[in-house]
Amino acid sequence: MQETIEQLFFITKKDSPAYVNNKQELYLDEILTDVIKQITPFSSNKSIGIEVTNIIPVTIYANETLIKIAINNIIRNAILYSQASSKILIDLKQQDGYYLLKIQDSGIGIAKEDLVLIFERFYRVDKVRSRKESGTGLGLSIVKTIVNIHNYSIEIKSELGEGTTVLIKIPY
């Protein structure tokens, strides 16, 4: 319930100057480390490992709170929709004028017809499981909003039964 209230609060305040203008120089690799530490108890409940590879030191100009919320939501979804004892892979590299943050799971995946809708508020791909896991359908909508506030881009690749890969492109 607390998470739902926080998500709804964010949606109502997303355009406020406190969010949009409160940007500073940050180290993305340190933010990733903080979020992973924070979410590890949640992943441990399902015996899901989080494997970080190829993380380069990266300085970005962003709102720290928002970036942490976005990364947390993506990793939390990966955990929710992955089988116990699986792994989530996180990779950060420099590529063609931007940094590429990749978060990949081997979970249930997303059907092609759902991929175009996943950033819509309250949309849930697996409505039965989402209710059981107490999903709100707001997480990816919030991620998309945060990505847009920062002028980043996001892409999700997925196939049913094959898992999901989230790619965030951060210009430098």
User: Based on the structure, what is the number of domains in the chain?
Assistant: 1
Q: Which residue has the tokens 């933010």?
A: 31
Query: 133 pLDDT exceeds 70?
Result: no
pLDDT score at 13: 62
Q: Please tell me the distance from the alpha carbon of residue 67 to that of residue 63, in angstroms, as a whole number.
A: 6
Q: Is the pLDDT of residue 164 over 90?
A: yes
Q: Distance (Å, rounded) from C-alpha 143 to C-alpha 84?
A: 25
The answer to whether 10 and 121 are in contact (CB under 8 A) is no
- CATH number for the domain spanning 107: value is 3.30.565.10
Q: Which residue segment(s) compose the domain that 91 sits in?
A: 2-171
pLDDT surpassing 90 at residue 94: yes
Percent with pLDDT over 70 in the chain? 79
Confidence band (pLDDT; 50, 70, 90) for 12?
low
How many Å apart are CA 165 and CA 91, to the nearest integer? 11
Facing residues of 141 across strands? none
